[in-house]
Amino acid sequence: MKSGLSRSLAVLAAMLLTAGCAANQPEQELSAEEIGIATPLTDKPGDPVNGAKLVTTRSKGNCIACHWMPIGTFHGSAGPNMLDAMQHNERSVGWIRQKIVNPKVDNPDTVMFTFYSNEGKSNIRKDWQGKRVLEAQEVEDIIAYLLTLRNMKPETAQQ
């Protein structure tokens, strides 16, 4: 009797576990490795000084339109504060590269633009279709700038 009960409990627990996993699957977050582009897009290392210009240039990244960054003025807030994100989210460089190339890969509903890839699920204005907002080297320069935020002391950052 006792063993029968524990067997049914074990079966029930297993069913619940399986049901739980199945229900969670569509919402499961992709791991950094799954969405990362580990290899740089160019052979030349990114230039953080040029990256800093690009994130505030309207015809280029204009990342500050949606992200607070310790540079530029008139920041939008549709996206996360980039100083916080870089200091706390512990993303791999490959993941950050993927996010800039095509942010839809990990979040199909994102409002963030597709800055480099025009393939598959992208989020690019009609008049930009078939074109890239950023050149490969510009993506690398922006990554280099974002990485400088990792070690920036928040109290020294321009507000």
The smaller minimum CB distance to ligand HEC, of residues 11 and 67, is found at: 67
Least distance from ligand HEC to the Cβ atom of residue 38, Å: 16
Q: What length is written for the chain?
A: 159
Residue 150 corresponds to which amino acid? R
Gap between the Cα atoms of 73 and 59, Å rounded = 16
Kindly list the residues in this chain that would bind ligand HEC in the complex (CB under 6 A).
55, 61-63, 65-67, 78-80, 85, 89, 91, 96, 99-100, 103, 107, 110-113, 115, 142
Least distance from ligand HEC to the Cβ atom of residue 93, Å: 10
The smaller minimum CB distance to ligand HEC, of residues 8 and 128, is found at: 128
The smaller minimum CB distance to ligand HEC, of residues 20 and 45, is found at: 45
On the CB side of 109, CA atoms within 13 Å amount to 1
Residue 15 corresponds to which amino acid? M
Tokens of 115: 């800055």
Least distance from ligand HEC to the Cβ atom of residue 24, Å: 19
The smaller minimum CB distance to ligand HEC, of residues 6 and 58, is found at: 58
Greatest CA span in the chain, whole angstroms? 74
Least distance from ligand HEC to the Cβ atom of residue 142, Å: 5
CA-nearest of 129, 126, 107 to 118 is 129
